[in-house]
Amino acid sequence: MTEPTIAHASIMNLDTKEAPIPCHFNPSEYSFSKQNTWAPVKTNGANVPQVEFSNGQPATLQMQLLFDTYTEGKDVRKVYTDRVWALMLVDEGLKDKKNQKGRPPKVRFHWGSSWSFDAVITSITQRFTLFLADGTPVRALLDMSFQQITDEKLFPKQNPTSGGVGGERVWTVQEGDTLRQIAYREYGDVGQWKLIAEANRLDDLRHLRPGAQLTIPPRPRGGDARTAATGERRLQVRGGTHE
């Protein structure tokens, strides 16, 4: 019996679309929290006032990630954690719409084919727990907090907080891939390339960077796969058949 392939979690910069940062070890656990704001309404003669819903707060995802380079004998910061830490730093190339000042990037935490979480990183605590003889850190624990930036209702059943499984998938771009090819392979309809482009906020639609991971959102309800207008029964895409 073939053992199942372990899916590794990753963190992707949504603004630059650089290659995702792989999590050396998957988290052993993670937690979600969410708060709502309710405002009390003045109720004469009552011990407990009535309340009115004011607004919801974004969900928070928390986890601890382990990175280890002891076997390689390399600085764990240079190999892994500096890239994660950089996601907390202001990028002057990313302008806030209101004040035109730089901001840290938006990110996507992704694990396997069943869910992802679009967020901003609000907190990182980094601890080094193993060192080489010269003091080089080779093991790090990162306690991380992510704050939700996308309403789950826009992408039904894709996030663990919505209770869904298998809502969205991920496509790893191979050399020569195009959005039309990917749309045909995933939906059977080249016209759905716009759905993929919008879900990934793509600016350059003609040049997909090999190694990048694209979110493949669920097809909108009511849409059925169609045969591509070219009449081709199959598009040959480097990287093999994607089921």
Residues 108, 210 share a domain: no
Say which residue, 214 or 107, is predicted with more confidence.
107
CATH number, domain of 239, equals: 3.10.350.10
Which of 18-27, 154-163, 216-225 has the least mean pLDDT? 154-163
Residues 91, 17 share a domain: yes
Question: Rounded CA gap, 142 and 65, in Å?
Answer: 5
Residues 143, 174 share a domain: no
User: According to DSSP H, which parts of the chain are helical?
Assistant: 76, 82-86, 179-187, 193-199
Residues 148, 216 share a domain: no
Contact partners, residue 46, CB within 8 Å, separation at least 6? none
What residues form DSSP beta bridges with 171? 214
Residue 120 has pLDDT above 80, yes or no: yes
Give the per-residue pLDDT at 178: 85
Give the per-residue pLDDT at 4: 54
pLDDT in tens, 137-175: 999 999 999 999 987 654 434 444 443 334 567 777 777
Residues 77, 139 share a domain: yes
Give the per-residue pLDDT at 132: 97
Give the per-residue pLDDT at 8: 82
Residues 110, 7 share a domain: yes
Residue type, 185: R
Give the per-residue pLDDT at 113: 65
Contact partners, residue 59, CB within 8 Å, separation at least 6? 32, 33, 34, 147, 148, 161
Question: Rounded CA gap, 25 and 141, in Å?
Answer: 11
Residue 224 has pLDDT above 60, yes or no: no
Residue 226 has pLDDT above 60, yes or no: no
Which of 84-93, 125-134, 211-220 has the least mean pLDDT? 211-220
Mean pLDDT of 174-190: 80
Query: How many distinct structural domains can be found in the chain?
Result: 2
DSSP-derived letter for residue 155 is S
CB atoms within 10 A of CB 83: 17
Residue 236 has pLDDT above 60, yes or no: no
For the entire predicted model, the pTM comes to: 0.62
Residues 179, 150 share a domain: no
Domain that residue 231 falls in: 168-243
Inter-CA distances, 231 with 181, 234, 235, 236, Å: 13, 9, 10, 14
pLDDT over 70 percentage in the chain: 80
Cβ contact 240:174 at 8 Å: no
Give the per-residue pLDDT at 139: 96
The DSSP-derived string for 77-146 is IIIIIHHHHHTTS-EEEEE-TTT--EEPPPEEEEETTTEEEEEEEEEEEEEEEEE-TTS-EEEEEEEEEE
Question: CB-side exposure of 164: number of CA atoms within 13 Å?
Answer: 18
pLDDT in tens, 24-66: 899 989 999 999 999 988 888 888 888 899 888 999 999 999 9
Residue listed under structure tokens 């996507």: 108
Give the domain-ending residue among 108, 126, 159. Answer: 159
Average pLDDT of every residue of the chain: 79
Residues 135, 26 share a domain: yes
Residue 73 has pLDDT above 90, yes or no: yes
What residues form DSSP beta bridges with 119? 107, 148
Residues 189, 88 share a domain: no
